[in-house]
Chain A
Amino acid sequence: MEILEAILITIVTASTPLLLAALGELVVERSGVLNLGVEGMMIMGAVCAFAVSLTTGNPYLGLVAGMLGGVVMSILFGFLTLTLVSNQVATGLALTLLGLGLSGMVGEGFVGTPGVKLAPLPIPGLVELPVIGRALFGQDPLFYLSVVLTIGTTWFLFKSRAGLIVRAVGENHGSAHALGYSVIKVRYLAVMFGGLCAGLAGAYLSLVYTSLWIENMTAGRGWIALALVVFASWLPKRLIIGAYLFGTVSILQFHAQGAGIGIPSQLLSALPYLATILALVFISRNRAVARANTPACLGLAFVPDR
């Protein structure tokens, strides 16, 4: 029972950063922008959160710094792709390379220093529940936030007018412009939300998941988040399933390595990446389903005529 509880807790902590980052990217893509720089924004969020929480001793200030780190990166991306209409794929790659490079530089002094951990915030009463109590109600505030954000994003996209506008801009930017909506402004806001979420996800890694700074500590999670958006066919509720599936895979391989079951550890470590490929193949195989929710203007540049 205790092992099960421990596994559940670690699954939640492994899944939360994926869910956070993917949620942000989902909104970005719904507005018609493909930001492949999630990894870069995440790692900047991680290093900023770590550095600020360590110097101030306050993990919440670190959290704010992580969000800011992600947002600043996303504004850079927005400036290039939205204002200067650069190629979104190339710019996303650039954002990732920049984030990995800068974070390595900024974080060099922190390698090996224990950081400040974001304390859990147990919900009284519910946390006592057997098996799931500590996994679901004894977590840190960011986990609760990820749940609230998922519900909030679903509501926003499908029930609010602003969400309708975001979807409209992603579906047909020409028409949205003709109706008088500022495509660029909507997209900037969406991209910044994506940066904020990626920053949070990064902060989660360095404040909750490890409370250490390790170079390249995102280890491809930003890319997995991107794959999750495709896997969820742009629906936030399906993101939960996807993120927790991947969290489970990565935790189980971890436990399998610990148990020493005779499979090379490298193969087990490769499982999350192989699972991502499999998931992509599985979801893309049926092109009709894969395409139904794809924002029609995804990745296309928009220059208004004036």
Chain B
Amino acid sequence: MTNTPLLQAKSLTKKFGTLKANDSVDLVVQPGEIHALLGENGAGKSTLVKMLYGALQPTSGQIYWKGQEVHLADPAQARTLGVGMVFQHFSLFDSLNVVENIALALPKGTKIGPLAKRVEEVSHDYGLPLKADNLVADLSVGERQRIEIVRCLLQNPELIIMDEPTSVLTPQEADLLFQTLERLSKEGRSILYISHRLEEVQKMCDTATILRHGKLVEHCNPANETAASLARLMVGSSVKAVERSKPDVSAAPVRLKLQKLSLPPASPFAVPLSDISLSVKGGEVVAIAGVAGNGQSELFDALSGERDTPADAIIINEIESGHKGVTARRSLGAAFVPEERLGHAAVPDLPLSENVILTRHGSDKPLKSGLFLQRNHAGELGIRISEAFDVRKGAPDPNAGSLSGGNLQKFVVGREIDRGPTLLVVSQPTWGVDAGAAALIRQALLDLARQGAAVVVISQDLDEIFEIADRIAVINKGELSKAEPVEDMSLEKIGLLMGGVHGAEPETIPASKGQEAYNAD
């Protein structure tokens, strides 16, 4: 191409302390193109785009906008130039309504009244319907993303940066998003699209820039690559595929049984669980798919015993456990790994040896003698877990908070598997960890199941689910669909069970008949 690039970054470097999050990265975005930015978790994608949006200041390097060098002091300046951003962890305010959220990103002097009208117009125009006075807290994740996109569009940007936009959407919602993106690109706007989903990138994007460990690896045309070759560029080596065999569970005992489990919402904006029934046998992996915020964390809390339920709603190893606490359930052979590593699964400011005590003080008798803790034993367990699960650490017994995401996740999963549980409930086992750690964790989950344990995986990552699940159920608005064998499931089917498109306009898709409308397509 001979025309001036819309945006060009030359040898951008960003250091946090001694860590180089970006190491002289170059990037060229042409007008009207959809440009993919690929890389593993922790490769430096977010750091790069935050610099392009003025939210972080580069340590060195230059940014050119339409050929002119620019210094972006803050996001407001980037927005004035014509850069818009849709964040991965949305930058929304739950207690404010849609139009207030949007006003906050627009220049001073924007009047709320007229803005509300424009928001509704623009959002309908792009097929992303929104109501101006809805409270954000009441909206689904997909609708929240719409606010971000509409907020961005109202600034009439020439470059839109999107950080992992499809990771929170149903497959149907993702398709809608792709249509919107295509339309934006036809209007001459450029899109910088961050993702680690390779099929998506191949389908959508004109060019791709790949980062690894903060460094630029390659500029390429995704159409000329295969998913496998892209993956190799991202990871740097090929990742071992998970090995699995089909289990025979006909004679296996039922290890977890949920009978009409219901739970009222804990806070005004939380999701209630209603009538959830499920039965999981030893030897199998059952995955629970669903879009974030549909009751997954409530379900996890009910299963782990962090919230109380009727006694007969949850049966662990044939014992009614709904009213039992976490420690009692662990003593029955159950183990749990919550979604949040820091602050839920582990205490950041305590060493690994004490984090071992956290979940095992009740079930591992040798950890305690009388009133007193046996710290030596805890330390030995910490070492054993670290070795078995390849936890890489800088000190013999470092604080949990100092480990990288992948290593800490290997530790918290390992801490539970090391106990030899007969039931493991794990939420988002590989969220935000690198490919190597993800493969190790998934294999460990499968191996545990094949040794006779029942494994329940709550995950939003459909690729992961298809990789390890024997049966799949879908949670939507606090209700759980029937768990079907993985052979009978497809992306489309799961997407519909996830609720298809949330918050669509009633005239296009009647809420109650959403499924039929889609089936008719």
Contacts and interface: CB of A to CB of B under 8 A. Distances in A.
B95 interface: yes
Q: DSSP class of B's interface residues: helix, strand, loop or mixed?
A: loop
A305 B51 CA distance: 12
Contacts of A291: 267-268
Given A178-B55, A178-B91, A171 B96 contact: yes
B136 to A, nearest CB: 10
B75 A179 contact: yes
Contacts of A296: 94-95
**Which one of B54, B87, B100, B104 has the greatest number of beta carbons of chain A within 10 Å?**
B104
Contact of A168 (B104, B108, B110): B104
A178 B75 contact: yes
Given A178-B75, A180-B54, A180-B76, A164 B104 contact: yes
Contact of A305 (B16, B93, B96): B16
A291 B268 CA distance: 8
Contacts of B96: 164, 167-168, 171
A293 B95 CA distance: 8
B55 A180 contact: yes
Nearest to A293: B95
Contacts of B54: 180
A168 B136 CA distance: 12
Nearest to A174: B91
Interface residues on B, range: 20 to 34
B56 interface: yes
A165 B267 contact: no
Contact of B268 (A165, A175, A176, A288): A288
B74 interface: yes
A116 to B, nearest CB: 43
A180 B55 CA distance: 7
Interface string A64-105: 000000000000000000000000000000000000000000
B28 interface: no
A171 B95 contact: yes
Interface string A177-200: 111110000000000000000000
Contacts of B16: 305
Interface residues of A, number: 23
Contacts of A175: 90-93
A305 B92 CA distance: 19
B439 interface: no
A178 B103 contact: no
A179 B56 contact: no
A2 B484 CA distance: 81
A288 B57 contact: no
A285 interface: no
B93 A172 contact: yes
A305 B74 CA distance: 13
Interface in B101-153: 103-105, 108, 110
A179 B267 CA distance: 27
Interface of B: 16, 54-57, 74-76, 79, 87, 89-96, 100, 103-105, 108, 110, 267-268
The 5 A-B residue pairs with the shortest CB-CB distance in the complex, in nearest-first order: A180-B75, A175-B91, A178-B91, A171-B93, A180-B74
20 contacts: A161-B103, A164-B103, A167-B93, A167-B96, A168-B93, A168-B100, A172-B92, A174-B89, A174-B91, A175-B90, A175-B92, A175-B93, A176-B93, A178-B87, A179-B104, A180-B55, A180-B74, A287-B267, A296-B94, A305-B56
